Amino acid sequence: MRASADGGGGDVPEGVYGASRAAHRRAFYECVSDLLEEPEVRRMGAHRQHGETSRLKHSLNVAYYSYRVAKALRLDCRSAARGALLHDLFFYDWKECGLTPLGHARLHPHIAHTNASCVTDLNEVESDIILKHMWLCSRDRPIYGESLIVTLVDKMCACAEALADVPVKGGRGRRRQGP
């Protein structure tokens, strides 16, 4: 679950472009390590989200990149990471429930928020992140910069994950990237 320590910084000395990738990963995992110990959070690993990507992997992708963007913009990167990690904390199968895609898009943020509230005490930013992350599909507009970041990063990660296993013509399929 923990990030590897390789960092991938190449020959660039740490500090030239800010903290190294390994340092960012360490700081990120310090923000969410308690949540990753929670059985309900780990349970997301058994559920598929986009393509072959599990819900836990998707949530980690969204959390890590939201953390990096929020940190670069000097926003509350800890709340961005924690809210994003919990933004899809639901376990129902929307097709089995007879929901339409739009119905699911509007319902699951509320289910996730209820579930996340049972896992940890949510602050206002984290609550807004979870409840508003489907903005544009839902009419619940984010009121915090961190929430706006998560809703955009969520959509980018969903596209990348869905396309990750599509074979590239004349070559091998792309490998998924993540924190």
Residue 140 in the binding site for Fe ion (CB under 5 A): no
E-only strand ranges, the chain: 48-50, 53-54
Rounded Cα–Cα distance for residues 21 and 5 (Å): 9
Measured over the CA atoms of residue 113, residue 99, residue 45 and residue 7, the dihedral's sign is negative
| Least distance to Fe ion, CB of residue 89, Å | 9
- Give min distance, CB of 114 to Fe ion, in A: 14
| 14 vs 42 by CB, closer to Fe ion | 42
Nearer to Fe ion, 20 or 142 (CB): 142
- CB of 107 vs Fe ion, minimal distance in Å: 10
Contact criterion met (CB below 8 Å) for 83 and 67: no
Give the whole-angstrom CA distance, residue 113 versus residue 86: 8
What is the x/- site pattern for Fe ion, positions 41-80, by CB under 5 A?
A: ----------------------------------------
Residue nearer to Fe ion on the CB measure, 85 or 125: 85
Q: Rule CB under 5 A: say whether 154 interacts with Fe ion.
A: yes
Pairing, β 48-50 against β 53-54: antiparallel
Phi-psi region of 170 (alpha: psi -120 to 50; beta: other; left: phi over 0): left
- Give 54's strand partners: 48
In the set 88, 128, 140, 161, which binds Fe ion (CB under 5 A)? 88
Nearer to Fe ion, 31 or 157 (CB): 157
Q: To which residue do tokens 């700081």 refer?
A: 27
Which window, 6-14, 70-78, 92-100, 150-158, contacts Fe ion (CB under 5 A)?
A: 150-158
Tell me, by CB under 5 A, how many residues bind Fe ion.
2
Binding residues (CB under 5 A) for Fe ion: these are 88, 154
